Structure 1
Amino acid sequence: MSTPRPTSTQGPWRKSSYSGANGDCVEVALARGGMAVRDSKDPDAGQQAHSTAPWTTFIHAVRSGTLG
């Protein structure tokens, strides 16, 4: 069974707190069913949609340092 993908953002886009001054960053927004991610340098290029469970797993891995 596939996990439903989120659709349409429901909140403001927020930049990562780890964003550099050179613009190399991503933005995230709440989306119906999960989170949306886009490149802040080119916001019109599209976005990735992530369901809640995989997004939560990713955030835990980043915070714990297991991604490198």
Structure 2
Amino acid sequence: MTTSTYDLSSTINQKYRYNTKGKTPTQINRELREKGVQGFVIKVSSNKVVMKVLEEHKQSNRECMR
């Protein structure tokens, strides 16, 4: 597993719909990475996830979530 660091000034907050019931943020982050979503989970609710994402990954992440 590779780790990457983001300069927070170059990231945006992006919301995605995702069924999160009974899962920890770490589990959700792992599942989204397996789907191809790039970024880091910062907030979780019952059906939404807020992630820190680089601007250039915004469109590719949307396509992975379809």
Structure 2 length-normalised TM: 0.31
Higher RCO, Cα 8 Å, sep 6+: 2
> Which of structures 1 and 2 has the bigger CA Rg?
1
Structure 1 length-normalised TM: 0.30
Q: When you count helix as a share of all residues, which structure comes out higher?
A: 2
